[in-house]
């Protein structure tokens, strides 16, 4: 079982460590990590196993349907990608296998935009 340290807990840990070492405590502001933003946002995203029709009915038409990849052999299923402003949905054949959040700003650290 993993124990995750939240950013606020990490700040307190750093503050306590620096105080214990007799160092001046400083507040450091950094970039927003995509994982932090995703944790704060509501989970209104397509879920694994939804069909293409269900995703389109719930979230509307995608802003872009990217070219499918794979499918050259039977054991390599076709992967379709639909791009929405806030996320990209990945389908194996016609079922959702993953959803990836888009960056909110250029300074945010996270995945690069989907390859076109």
- The tens digit of pLDDT for each residue in 14-45 reads 445 544 555 544 445 556 565 665 555 556 89
Helix (H, G, I), strand (E, B) or coil at 58: helix
Neighbouring CB atoms inside 10 A of 90's CB total 18
Give the per-residue pLDDT at 14: 47
Q: Which domains does the chain have, with CATH numbers?
A: 7-101 (3.30.1450)
Task: List residues bridging with 96 in a β-sheet.
Answer: 91
Q: What is the spatial distance between Cα 68 and Cα 58, in angstroms, rounded to a whole number?
A: 22
Does 78 score more than 60 pLDDT? yes
Q: What is the pLDDT of residue 98?
A: 94
Q: How far is CA 90 from CA 35, 75, 79, 80, in A?
A: 19, 18, 7, 6
């Amino acid at each position: 079982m993993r124990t995750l340290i939240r950013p606020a807990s990490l700040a307190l840990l750093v503050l306590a460590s620096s105080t214990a070492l007799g160092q001046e405590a400083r507040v450091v502001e950094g970039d927003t990590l995509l994982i932090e933003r995703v944790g704060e946002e509501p989970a209104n995203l397509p879920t694994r196993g939804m069909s293409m029709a269900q995703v389109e009915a719930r979230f509307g038409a995608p802003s872009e349907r990217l070219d499918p990849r794979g499918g050259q052999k039977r054991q390599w299923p076709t992967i379709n990608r639909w791009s929405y402003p806030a996320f990209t949905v990945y389908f194996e054949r016609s079922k959702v296998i993953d959803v990836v959040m888009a960056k909110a700003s250029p300074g945010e650290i996270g995945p690069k935009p989907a390859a076109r």
